[in-house]
Amino acid sequence: MLANNIPFRIRGKCLVALIALRGHPKRVYHYSKTCGEEYSWAVRDYLTEWMVRSGRSEMTASQVEELIDHAEVPSPCPVDRIGFWKPDCRAASERHFGPAHVDLATPNPPILGAWKPMNGRRLL
């Protein structure tokens, strides 16, 4: 369990890390939270372009962090740069799980809340 040892990067009022979640799809997510706020966080799956925010979840930041089994410091880049984050998260996923084990087919974990497409992508 890494909850107290997550290697966050500070971005203004936010803390940011790349994370893998224990018992969930084998891919690395982008996690951010507002410093000192339990109900202000987001998990972004840049590999499948879905995200969940605290407003669409019953979980607190501390509860999300209890699910983390791997974390690393992300590059300094704005969250809306999907073209940057997709290869960065892919590389982190391959480092952690091995290239043959990265899972892009399994849906994101509903335990985190209601996922929505990133950047206004519409559902078909």
pLDDT (0 to 100) of residue 120:
65
Buried b or exposed e, range 77-86, using 16+ CB within 10 angstroms: eebeeeeebe
Rg of the chain over Cα atoms, rounded to whole angstroms, equals 13
Q: Is residue 3 part of a domain?
A: no
Residue closest to 38 by CA, chosen among 2, 63, 67 = 63
pLDDT (0 to 100) of residue 4:
63
Q: Is residue 4 part of a domain?
A: no
Q: Is residue 98 part of a domain?
A: yes
What is the identity of the amino acid at 45? D
Residue closest to 67 by CA, chosen among 15, 14, 17, 24 = 24
Please name the helix (run of DSSP H) or strand (run of DSSP E) that holds residue 51, with its range, or none: strand 50-53
Task: Say how far apart CA 10 and CA 52 lie, in whole Å.
Answer: 20
Q: Is residue 2 part of a domain?
A: no
Cα 108 to chain centroid, rounded: 10
Q: What is the mean pLDDT of each run of 10 residues along the chain (124 residues)?
A: 75 94 95 95 96 96 96 89 92 96 95 90 50
pLDDT (0 to 100) of residue 17:
96
Domain of residue 76 covers 9-120
pTM exceeds 0.75 for this model: yes
pLDDT (0 to 100) of residue 79:
86
Task: Say how far apart CA 65 and CA 5 lie, in whole Å.
Answer: 10
Q: Is residue 36 part of a domain?
A: yes
Q: Is residue 1 part of a domain?
A: no
pLDDT (0 to 100) of residue 10:
92
